[in-house]
Amino acid sequence: MASVCFYFQVHQPARLRHYTVFDNKADYFDDYKNAEICRKVANKCYLPANRLILDIIRRCDGRFKVAYSLTGILLEQLFSFSPEVMSTFDALAQTGCVEFLAETYYHSLSFLYSHDEFVEQINKHAETIEKLFGQKPRIFRNTELIYNNDLAALIESTGAFDAIITEGADHILGYRSPNFIYRPKGSEKLKLLLKNYSLSDDIAFRFSNRHWTQWPLTAEKFARWVNDVNGNGFVVNLFMDYETFGEHQWADTGIFEFMRHLPEEVLKYPDNGFKTPSEVIKAYEAVDTVDVPHLISWADTERDLSAWLGNAMQSNAIHELYRMEKNIKSSGDQDLIADWRRLQSSDHFYYMCTKYFADGDVHKYFNPYDSPYDSYINFMNVLGNLQSRCAKKTSGPNLREITRNEIPPDLRTQAVH
Amino acid sequence: MRVFMLGWEFPPFISGGLGTACYGLTKALDQLGTEVIFVLPTMVQSRYTTHVKLLTPDLAMSEAPFKVHQLKNVLFRTITSPLQPYLTSSDYQQHIEQSLAHIQRQRGQTYDLCGGLDYSGDMFTEVARYAQIAVKLAENEHFDVIHAHDWMTYPAAVAVAAGLHKPLVVHIHSTEFDRSGEHVNQPIYDIEREGMHAADKVITVSHYTRSILISRYGIPGEKVEVVHNGVERNGNQNWSLADGEISKDEKIVLFLGRITMQKGPEYFLRAAKKVLEKMDNVKFVMVGSGDLMHRAVEIAAELGIGSKVLFTGFLRGDDVHKIYKMADLYVMPSVSEPFGITPLEALENDVPVIISKQSGVSEVLQHALKVDFWDVDEMANKIIAVLKYAPLEITLRNHGNFEVRRLRWIDSAEKCLRIYDDALAAVAYA
């Protein structure tokens, strides 16, 4: 009995416009570029993929299930730039075969810096999802699948969730398989769903790679791999970016055809089927606890936070941002608060990543800036303006300029990749 | 493999990037065991060439071959000639007059250099004369391939190649369009073009220059190969630690290069003006000399930032290291820069850099800030950011210093050897 559990991450950042130290308007976001990208991705991915999923659900008579996590930042953009995508998500919600997950509304790293802000963003997201799709999310996924024991404890304390989704990283599982349900260490009720990164990445990253020994990947072959799990697990957690369909893997790679045929191939094995995350945790008990004292994520081979917080610029930018929290909130100015929150998206810090930069790879592909340095300069200029707006309202301090000696030694002489 | 190389100058008596590049490349070829006959003009007399003995011009016009101690495979041949890289016609005039006066003092005889008051004509006649002597010199040497650096050697290289039926590789370190913008000197352009077309293979120091060759000189793309310059490790890396921090209240932004149109000094000053609107504790230091020097001083005054801009004139050796040591940021706002070695030197000296996108070096540096030379707002924006945010400066320095170590002359030399093989094959096939 092997259940395939699909969860798709759907997110687009609110990209900043070019903002120099000479700018002084409180107008930070590049609406033109954001609209252009949103419409492009809608046409290449969201619309065709949603129609395909809808079609499969109808064809399979409810035996095909998926889950989505839609960030608040994305939903805002869809409403403004591609409202037709919203109606297809609405149609998906009405099939009863689609589950919506909870996350931070702003796709933020707030868990690491402010638990108050973190919980506020989760609540805002959950309210939005309930209002739009009539479901109260019961499963939580943190930005970039960032996770540790403390996160589990915090999520459990809210009482709002049944399970957390995170990465099935080798170093937390050891010899154990991600194809079982686990319990976070120190947790009473929460369960853990762990990503099967090997099978997920076969679709998300390797699908079109002609140097891969398994290329071409057919639905029939993949269904066989899923079936091989029987005897060593209950569930195959396939977690990936939704943009895999049509954007990361272009339509001409055959990714949509693969997806179209996958359900029937999986269902050819009478024991196998599809479940949403909530159905999975209802169906199976936790087999063991997983202890994650250190933070993990789903990024790169390191599965750590170095893509967002690996250099002195990233660390400086995010610390400055969260240092403003009290003043921003006490201003009571809703525009100010909304701008501050949009700056929290992990993407802004990802763009500042110098890891692998010289080699040019996946990091570069998603980066609207020419270099991580440009992205830091732009972000700090925006932050400087936000700070002065805030100072006008609250007479708080201005952006502090940190000196070289204040930077922790490990960041001063960080390893260069 | 034996290379007949027509070059320009050799350290420590160099005036710019061309000499640095010739030295780096020759040294690396030497390390790879390639034999090089390095032919260069020795000036009759100038401030920096006191180490070269004068030969009587009526003798073969060339000195006895000599070797430099570290380079065991390189044989130097010199041709007595007042040619120098980066000469403009008016410089040439001055230079010739000085040289003639000197010779006259020494010998008490008049030395007529082709007469005439058309000095640009003088320079070109000299280039042609140089070519004749080079052919004579080459006739007594054995080599496989000719490698010529920049336009003044092309007539010589073309003549040698035609006379001895050897493959010709010309190496473009800069074009007339880089030096003069749209107002090219037609005879120079013609010499460059002829050399490139006559060559079996053309090497450019960047893709940026390669595209100029294709679009402006009509050179077929398949003939042009890019060999980026490397950087010479100068072995005094502990220097900065030993000296300790120089304490200063002001930030220093550095311009280092010839103060000519090509190097964009005016954009540097206009950006400086913008920076000073936002911060006060900054000084802008311009190191170098050139025909726009006086104009630059005037512009600084006109912009009302005269007290914030310092002109040091041309510096060399330890003074350059000192200035790097004091600098917080190096800016290269070149209008058109085929490569640009100085940003690499700045990075080696732990100074972060802002470089113009109109440069070859921007193709090889990732850990540098890049701007369009004309975009003074963005240049100022980036200068301010580096001065204001220590994390930016530190990240740039750490990564930049590491990155620059990967640009090795030995890799450039290996690429040249491959190109020699291609040129040999092309000639054999023909």
- Shared domain check, A115 and A17: yes
Closest in A371, A381, A404 to B394, CB measured: A404
Q: Are strands B66-67 and A3-10 parallel, antiparallel or unpaired?
A: unpaired
Is pLDDT above 90 for A24?
yes
pLDDT at A401: 63
Would A298 be classed as within a structural domain? no
pLDDT at B117: 32
Average pLDDT over residues B152-180: 93
CA distance to partner chain B, nearest, from residue A359 (Å): 9
Reported as type and span, the H/E element at residue B171 is strand B168-172
pLDDT band at residue B428 under the 50/70/90 scheme: confident
Cα angle, residue A282 at apex, residues A281 and A286 outer, rounded to 5°: 50
Greater pLDDT, A90 or B15:
A90
Give A-chain residues touching B371 at CB under 8 angstroms: none
Would A187 be classed as within a structural domain? yes
- Shared domain check, A346 and A253: no
Distance, CA of B426 to CA of B419 (rounded, Å): 10
- Shared domain check, B272 and B252: yes
Average pLDDT over residues B365-378: 96
Average confidence score pLDDT of chain A? 92
Q: Between chains, do A20 and B378 touch, taking CB under 8 Å as contact? A: yes
Average pLDDT over residues B337-349: 92
Beta-carbon contacts below 8 Å between A and B:
88
pLDDT band at residue B278 under the 50/70/90 scheme: very high
Reported as type and span, the H/E element at residue B145 is strand B145-149
Structure tokens at B268: 């540097």
- Shared domain check, B358 and B221: no
- Shared domain check, B151 and B217: yes
Residue type, B196: M
Report the residue of A19, A21, A356, A398 to disrupt the B interface, i.e. the one with the largest count of B CBs within 10 Å. A21
Answer yes or no: are the C-beta atoms of A383 and A316 closer than 8 Å: no
Helix, coil or strand: residue B161 = helix
- Shared domain check, A240 and A389: no
Secondary structure letter of residue B245 according to DSSP: P
Is pLDDT above 60 for A414?
no
Q: Between chains, do B382 and A377 touch, taking CB under 8 Å as contact? A: yes
What's CA A397's distance to the chain center, in Å? Answer: 33
- Shared domain check, A330 and A210: no
Give B-chain residues touching A315 at CB under 8 angstroms: 391
pLDDT at B11: 63
Average confidence score pLDDT of chain B? 84
Reported as type and span, the H/E element at residue B122 is helix B119-139
Q: Quote the domain boundaries for residue B329.
A: 239-404
Residue type, A27: D
Q: How many CB atoms lie within 10 A of CB A417?
A: 14
- Shared domain check, A143 and A180: yes
A283 Cβ under 8 Å from any chain B Cβ: no
pLDDT band at residue A302 under the 50/70/90 scheme: confident
- Shared domain check, A366 and A281: no
Residue type, A414: Q
Give A-chain residues touching B403 at CB under 8 angstroms: 358
Would A302 be classed as within a structural domain? no
Report the residue of A377, A403, A412 to disrupt the B interface, i.e. the one with the largest count of B CBs within 10 Å. A377
Structure tokens at B37: 């006959």
CA distance to partner chain A, nearest, from residue B303 (Å): 18
- Shared domain check, B194 and B297: no
Distance, CA of A369 to CA of A352 (rounded, Å): 9
A39-49 tens-digit pLDDT? 999 999 999 99
Distance, CA of A46 to CA of A348 (rounded, Å): 23
- Shared domain check, B144 and B253: no
pLDDT band at residue A197 under the 50/70/90 scheme: very high
Answer yes or no: are the C-beta atoms of B285 and B253 closer than 8 Å: yes
Average pLDDT over residues A122-141: 97
Look at chain B and report how many structural domains it folds into: 2
Is pLDDT above 50 for A225?
yes
Is pLDDT above 90 for A355?
no
Is pLDDT above 80 for A393?
yes
Is pLDDT above 60 for B312?
yes
CA distance to partner chain A, nearest, from residue B383 (Å): 10
Average pLDDT over residues A47-64: 95
Q: Where a domain ends, among A290, A324, A346?
A: A290
- Shared domain check, A371 and A260: no
Would A299 be classed as within a structural domain? no
- The CATH number of residue A259's host domain is 3.20.110.20
Give the CA distances from residue A303 to residues A10, A147, A148, B263, B400, in Å, rounded to whole numbers and listed in that order: 20, 11, 12, 46, 26
Q: How many CB atoms lie within 10 A of CB B135?
A: 16
Average pLDDT over residues A175-190: 95
- Shared domain check, A139 and A169: yes
Is pLDDT above 70 for B237?
no
Average pLDDT over residues B37-50: 59
- Shared domain check, A326 and A234: no
pLDDT at B239: 45
A263-272 tens-digit pLDDT? 999 999 999 9
Distance, CA of A339 to CA of A25 (rounded, Å): 13
Backbone phi, psi, residue B184, to 5°: -75, 150
B61-120 tens-digit pLDDT? 455 667 766 778 888 887 877 776 666 656 666 665 665 565 556 555 444 443 333 333
Answer yes or no: are the C-beta atoms of A228 and A179 closer than 8 Å: no
pLDDT at B129: 84
End-to-end CA distance of chain B: 20
Greater pLDDT, A243 or B247:
A243
Q: Which of residues 275-314 of B touch A (CB under 8 A)?
A: 278
Structure tokens at A130: 């309930």
B369 Cβ under 8 Å from any chain A Cβ: yes
> Active site includes A144?
yes
B121-160 tens-digit pLDDT? 467 888 888 888 888 889 888 999 999 998 889 999 999 9
Q: What percent of chain B has pLDDT over 70?
A: 80
- Shared domain check, B177 and B78: yes
pLDDT at A365: 63
Q: Which of A103, A144, A156, A167 is catalytic?
A: A144
Is pLDDT above 50 for B46?
no
Closest in B366, B384, B388 to A357, CB measured: B366
Distance, CA of B14 to CA of B22 (rounded, Å): 10
Strand order of the β-sheet with B201-204 is B66-67, B74-80, B35-42, B2-6, B145-149, B168-172, B201-204, B224-226
Look at chain A and report how many structural domains it folds into: 2
Answer yes or no: are the C-beta atoms of B237 and B373 closer than 8 Å: no
Average pLDDT over residues A377-396: 90
Answer yes or no: are the C-beta atoms of A381 and A25 closer than 8 Å: no
Would A296 be classed as within a structural domain? no
- Shared domain check, B12 and B95: yes
- Shared domain check, A51 and A142: yes
- Shared domain check, B217 and B254: no
- Shared domain check, A404 and A358: yes
Would A156 be classed as within a structural domain? yes
Complex ipTM over 0.90: no
Distance, CA of B126 to CA of B80 (rounded, Å): 11
Give the CA distances from residue B69 to residues B1, B26, B232, B349, in Å, rounded to whole numbers and listed in that order: 21, 13, 18, 27
A359-380 tens-digit pLDDT? 545 556 678 898 999 999 999 9
Q: Where a domain ends, among A290, A325, A347?
A: A290
Closest in A20, A316, A370 to B391, CB measured: A316
What's CA A386's distance to the chain center, in Å? Answer: 26
Is pLDDT above 90 for B305?
yes
Average pLDDT over residues B387-403: 93
Average pLDDT over residues B161-169: 94
B402 Cβ under 8 Å from any chain A Cβ: yes
- Shared domain check, B208 and B253: no
Closest in A371, A381, A416 to B402, CB measured: A416
Greater pLDDT, A357 or B306:
B306
Closest in B382, B390, B399 to A402, CB measured: B390
Would A295 be classed as within a structural domain? no
Q: Which of residues 10-29 of A touch B (CB under 8 A)?
A: 20-22
Give A-chain residues touching B399 at CB under 8 angstroms: 354, 357-358, 416
Is pLDDT above 70 for A199?
yes
- The CATH number of residue B223's host domain is 3.40.50.2000
pLDDT at B116: 33
- Shared domain check, B421 and B343: no
Q: Quote the domain boundaries for residue A369.
A: 308-412
Print the SS3 string covering chain A: CCEEEEEEEECCCCCECCCCCCCCCCCCECHHHHHHHHHHHHHHHHHHHHHHHHHHHHHCCCCCCEEEEECHHHHHHHHHHCHHHHHHHHHHHHCCCEEECECCCCCECHHHCCHHHHHHHHHHHHHHHHHHHCCCCCEEECHHHCECHHHHHHHHHHCCCCEEEEECCHHHHCCCCCCCEEEECCCCCCEEEEECHHHHHHHHCCCCCCCCCCCCCCHHHHHHHHHCCCCCCCEEEEEEEHHHECCCECHHHCHHHHHHHHHHHHHCCCCCEECCHHHHHHHCCEEEEECCCCCECCCCCCCCCHHHHCCHHHHHHHHHHHHCHHHHHHHCCHHHHHHHHHCCEHHHHHCCCCCCHHHCCHHHHCCCCCCHHHHHHHHHHHHHHHHHHHHHHHCCCCCCCCCHHHCCHHHHCCCCC
- Shared domain check, B267 and B181: no
Q: Are strands B369-371 and B309-313 parallel, antiparallel or unpaired?
A: unpaired
Q: Write the CB contacts of B226 (distance below 8 Å, at least 6 apart in sequence).
A: B203, B204, B205, B206, B207, B209, B210
Q: Between chains, do B377 and A357 touch, taking CB under 8 Å as contact? A: no
Greater pLDDT, B55 or A24:
A24
- Shared domain check, A109 and A37: yes
pLDDT at B60: 42
Structure tokens at B183: 């107002």
